[in-house]
Structure 1
Amino acid sequence: MHRTCFIPCNLAAFRTTKQPSLGFTLVEMVIVVVLLAVLAVVAVPKFIDLTKSADQAVMKAQIASIAAARDMVTVQITLHPENLNANKSRFTLKSGQRIRIRGGYADGRWNNTFIHLVDISSTAQVTSNDCDEEGMDFCVRHRNSGWFRNPNRDYVDSASRGRGFVIYPNGYNLNTTKCYTYYYTPNDSVTPDNPQKPITGSDFSEC
């Protein structure tokens, strides 16, 4: 007579082999998505801040180079006055390039003066307030005294009648965003009665 088993008589027959996981469970995927979202919230602003800081560092270096070039030209004019033309509006550099002079200083012009004095790559001169030049990191635009003494900027006194240029990053608008460096000569003619030293500066308040 056979005995009836009320529990498995052969436990080995009921063993199952655990199958390997074929992918993420829904819960795991939700956790991953949440973690990525948190990382994005934390990391993206820091990345943007680093990019802005890099732009500002480059622009500070630009304005330092421009100021140094301005002073170098003044020294060269003192040492080699024979390189000035008759009406003292042009000066010939050692390289043979002729630049514009205003009041005994390098004129506030990019295309025929400072482009020969400083080496700033990936920069294009434009005629628009929007800097959207493909392949360029910065734009340069000439501005008259009215732009510099505008109440929103007020970088020069109301008596100034000079001119200058402004350098600003690609993707920015010159008039709507204060993120630029500048060079301005307050001298209103080639031979003013009281020559004044051109100013350099920057405004990163809205970068």
Structure 2
Amino acid sequence: MTKKPRNIGHISKGNGFTLIELVVVIVILGILAATAAPKFIDLTGDANESVLNSLAGTMKSSGQLVYTKSIIQGLHTEATGEVDLDGDGATDIATKYGYPNAHRSEGIINGLDISEDDWTWSGNGSNNVFYITTATLGGRTGLYVNRSHISDTNCYITYVGATALGESTVVEVINTGC
């Protein structure tokens, strides 16, 4: 029996992909990329929400620190007070039952280390609710007294000051528009 010589360099049918198979795979990958890419490209909403959650945590911590300082200074039972945070004899933050009040320029804002260029904040008429959002969302930087510019974004924080002895403050992140 004679052996057939091997044909080296010959590609048999059935190896590799046809052009139509490659085109189908590329089209499927394109469709997947088109549907998945927007989820990864526009992360602005997630970033805004994360920034607000971080600031809300800072507000809660700041409120607790001011309350502790008001206990030390014997002001935690007073309906209104003024706490000296750094011991220099000057009032640093206005309080209500020991917690920072919600006044837009004398309360919780003074317990936060934030830049006016990055934030827009406001209070309501009776100064018992404080609103804050990013300057980008609020359309302004620094103090702005019309809270509708903040609440209309649906991406902001509300800070409600203590309303009675023994009650704490309430910090809430509204993130339906982030």
Q: TM-score range by the shorter chain?
A: 0.5 to 0.7
Q: Which runs of 5 or more structure 1 residues have no equivalent in the other structure? A: 1-37, 125-135, 146-161
Q: 1:167 to 1:40 in 2, by over 3 A?
A: farther
- Counterpart CA distance in 1 for 2:110 and 2:161 is 17
Query: How many residues get paired?
Result: 136
Q: What secondary structure is seen at the aligned counterpart in 2 of 1:165?
A: strand
- Counterpart CA distance in 2 for 1:183 and 1:168 is 12
Please state how far the C-alpha of 1:171 moved relative to its aligned partner: 3.0
The one of 55, 59, 81 equivalent to 1:89 is 81
Counting only pairs closer than 5 Å after superposition, residues 137-176 of structure 1 correspond to structure 2 as: 137-144=118-125, 163-169=128-134, 170-172=136-138, 173-176=149-152
Please state how far the C-alpha of 1:65 moved relative to its aligned partner: 0.7
- Counterpart CA distance in 2 for 1:74 and 1:116 is 14
Q: Partner of 2:177 in structure 1? A: 206
Q: What secondary structure is seen at the aligned counterpart in 1 of 2:105?
A: coil
- Counterpart CA distance in 2 for 1:175 and 1:114 is 18
Give the TM-score, by structure 2 length: 0.61
What is the percentage of aligned positions where both structures have the same residue? 18
Q: Which has the larger radius of gyration?
A: 1
Q: What secondary structure is seen at the aligned counterpart in 2 of 1:177?
A: coil
Please state how far the C-alpha of 1:182 moved relative to its aligned partner: 1.7
2:176 paired with 1:184: no
Give the TM-score, by structure 1 length: 0.54
Q: Could you say what the CA RMSD is over the residues aligned between the two structures, in angstroms?
A: 3.3
- Counterpart CA distance in 1 for 2:111 and 2:87 is 10
Q: Partner of 1:60 in structure 2? A: 53
Q: Which runs of 5 or more structure 2 residues have no equivalent in the other structure? A: 1-31, 139-148
Please state how far the C-alpha of 1:101 moved relative to its aligned partner: 1.3
Q: What secondary structure is seen at the aligned counterpart in 1 of 2:159?
A: strand
